[in-house]
Structure 1
Amino acid sequence: MTTIPSFTLNDGNQMPAFGFGTFQIPADGSTKAAVATALRLGYRHIDTAAAYFNEREVGQAIAESGIPRDQIWVTSKLWLQDYGFEAARTGIDTSLQKLGLDYIDLYLLHQPYGDVPGAWRALEAGQQAGKIRSIGISNVTPRLWAKFVPDFDVRPAVNQVEFNPYFQQQPLRALMASTQTVLEAWAPLGQGNPELFQEPVIQALATKYKKDAGQIILRFEYQSDVVVFPKSVHEARIASNQNIFDFALTDDEMATMQALDKGHGRHDPDAPGVAKRLLGAFDVHADQ
């Protein structure tokens, strides 16, 4: 079974550097089955969110796994609908109840709009109360970082943003270095972008190391000190995604991968209208 290394967060907690994502896996038994498979194959880091509507199935898979709770890192996220201090405190408790857990290892503000300061104070209070071990943010750009983070009492342990070889977030990473905030990648495989997978440098490295293109990309990200959690519902892919710790890219190979950076991604959190669109996207209280 693969041994997954960890990164040390700025609060001292050890977070597995590789995990399993559950975005867009339905709560029709599919999430429970996929998480159960991932745990059986050695994954010990599961990422979910209130807005994924599958926290309950993630919790069921964890409960039935037989794995001690302190060996599994669980991340969830607060949705915009529950921003503001009191609403966020309730949102944290709702996530705990759905997951069936006494604490969440990492809890993030899913989007950086609305009453971010109030929501962040609730995360800080939840951490002080032992309900959350580490707290962080998501989709925070350099502009949004400057707007909010300097006023936080507790530095974010993590910022979960779009990251892959085509979008390496260099200006943001320079800011995050000042607070030792770890970058977590959503869409680490570029959401399956065929152009990315067919890049000649990636194909050449795949041939050299007898790996597939996805494994080369994930290895590059791990060596870039980025936490990744690719998603799949297929057992073979869940197994192969984590087989990236038996080889290492050279410094020159890392440089050729870094040269693929286009400096932008598919999602722009700074774009006009994004906050309004996301706030009206869905109702996270619909199943309560």
Structure 2
Amino acid sequence: MAQKQSGFDLEAVRERARKAVAPLKSADDETSAPKDMLFSAKPTDARRNLPPPYLVYFLLHDLLGFRDLGQFEKLAYSLPVDLNGTAYLIEHRKFGLGVFAADPETQGADAAEIVRLVSKGVKAAQPYFDHLAQTAGDGSKLNVHNHSRELYKRFEYLRHLHQEKADEAERRKDEHHVTEHPSEDGEVRSWTHTSPAFELLREAQWLGISAVEAFFAWTEHVFIHIAILRGKCQTGQDVSQLAASEWAKKFKAWLAPLEVVRFVS
């Protein structure tokens, strides 16, 4: 019987994904492969077009049940696959995800076909990924990445550029240029007056606006992390809703008073 949860039919999605990747399947005892392939397989050029590593793993291992040989040194996962009776490896190594073959030069076309089938399967399995995201969002087992350092560096960089432009404009405020525009008879009938300071101030203003936007992006990111640490956000949905809210709401979530617990002996 198909497993249905809130309108989500897992078995129907699984069947569509299985048809999408066919004839690709998990390698078995009947798959032809060199004895030392796990250690001698080489990367193919097809790796550049693979979907993100987590989607490939969710599709092949979690949804379709492809075997994972496990983690090794500098290896997150290794999925031995079978295409028309020949073994290949889909592995997430230190330098990224790839399709690995015994002879990349002669098996390049098959590797490209594996990438095409996997990409097709990822598209077919999109409802499954949406379901995973929704389920994870309702819980608290999530990783929230801290990018506050990079965001603050961006803010400082833009602020520095703004100040440089503003200072240069101040130094050149008395500098003016006049350009003459002679007519066809050679007589000068018009002039153009330009001031470098004017252009510099305009560029400084643009950079200043960018610096302010970078400041708010940095503080919003920090406020969300503080709200999580203080228990104001306990699920993925809480984090998502706070992230989509206005800056003022994020500020209030950070500033809200902590509950004080008194211990009486």
TM-score range, shorter chain: under 0.3
TM-score, L = length of structure 2: 0.20
The answer to which structure, 1 or 2, has the higher relative contact order (CA under 8 A, 6+ apart) is 1
TM-score, L = length of structure 1: 0.19
Larger radius of gyration: 2
* Larger helix proportion of the pair: 2
